[in-house]
């Protein structure tokens, strides 16, 4: 049976239930709902602090109309970050490595920002297609370029998340295999490889959080233009 390094991204099924169902429901289970007590337990306090800080930072550049999206951005950020971080545990499945899921998140949200812009302020939304101060001969070319860049945004959002996570997981698996195979033959090289693996894992933890943040940040930027 032909197995390759990419098999870790195939969606595993057991007794007819795909693992992705468990992986997608886990962020829902892991975070406790805030209670109405004044002093909560540690987990709840940490969680509330983080969400408040993050939402405050994210909503700084948005005007009042954009604040309607606060809950969506906060929950999206927590969801993506949890999915990414949980995928770093051994034997787990990362749903965000599936392009279908990321496109399913990116396209509707991007389309929502565009439609909101076109409905509420069509002139301003179309005006974003032409940066200020362009010389007159360049205008037609620039309009075309800006339109293309507008339509590439959902693609970029989805593919960026997928590619970053997939590449990270693949690297971890490759380097881990190398270290494992080298260990009986050349222990010194194996130790060096293990160090690289450790550093890479740290990087992956960072990437997991950063990618979620970037996703939501870009969405908020697109919203800022249009709302």
Partner 1 sequence: MADKPVPLAEKRLMDVKLGELMSWISTKDLSPNGIIAAVRRGHDRYYNKYINVKKGGIGGIAMLLTSYVVLSYIWEYDHIKHDRWRKYH
Name the residues that contact partner 1, by CB under 8 A: 1, 3, 5, 7, 10, 12, 14, 19, 22-23, 26, 29-30, 32, 41-44, 86, 89-93, 177, 181
* Least distance to partner 1, CB of residue 180, Å: 9
**CA 56, CA 85: separation in Å to the nearest integer?**
23
> Nearest distance from residue 42's CB to partner 1, in Å?
5
Q: Are 97 and 165 in contact (CB under 8 A)?
A: yes
Query: In terms of CB distance, is 86 or 103 closer to partner 1?
Result: 86
Q: Which is nearer to partner 1, 52 or 177 (CB)?
A: 177
Nearer to partner 1, 22 or 72 (CB): 22
Cα 64 to Cα 110: distance, rounded to the nearest angstrom: 19
Output the smallest distance, CB 9 to partner 1, in A. Answer: 11
Strands (E), the chain: 13-14, 17-18
Question: What angle do the packed helices 139-182 and 187-226 form, to 10 degrees?
Answer: 150
Give the helix/strand (H/E) hosting 44: helix 42-59
- Residue 121 tokens read as 């302020």
- With respect to partner 1, which residue has the nearer C-beta, 35 or 123? 35
* CB 132, min distance to partner 1, A: 50
């Amino acid at each position: 049976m032909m197995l390759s390094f990419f098999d870790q991204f195939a969606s595993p099924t057991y007794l007819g239930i795909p693992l992705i169902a468990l992986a997608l429901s886990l962020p829902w289970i892991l975070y406790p709902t805030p209670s109405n007590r004044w002093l909560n337990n540690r987990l709840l306090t940490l969680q509330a602090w983080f969400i408040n800080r993050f939402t405050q930072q994210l909503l700084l550049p948005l005007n009042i109309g954009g604040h309607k999206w606060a809950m969506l951005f906060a929950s999206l950020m927590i969801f993506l970050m949890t999915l990414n971080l949980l995928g770093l545990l051994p034997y787990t499945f990362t749903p965000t490595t599936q392009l279908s899921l990321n496109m399913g998140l990116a396209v509707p949200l991007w389309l929502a920002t565009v439609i909101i812009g076109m409905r509420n302020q069509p002139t301003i939304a179309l005006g974003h297609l032409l940066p200020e101060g362009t010389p007159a001969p360049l205008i037609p070319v620039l309009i075309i370029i800006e339109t293309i860049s507008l339509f590439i945004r959902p693609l970029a959002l989805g593919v960026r998340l997928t590619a970053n996570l997939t590449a990270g997981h693949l690297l971890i698996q490759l380097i881990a295999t190398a270290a494992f195979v080298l260990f009986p033959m050349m222990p010194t090289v194996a130790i060096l490889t293990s160090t690289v693996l450790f550093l890479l894992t740290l990087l992956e933890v960072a990437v997991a959080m950063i990618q979620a943040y970037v996703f939501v940040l870009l969405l908020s930027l697109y919203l800022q233009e249009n709302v």
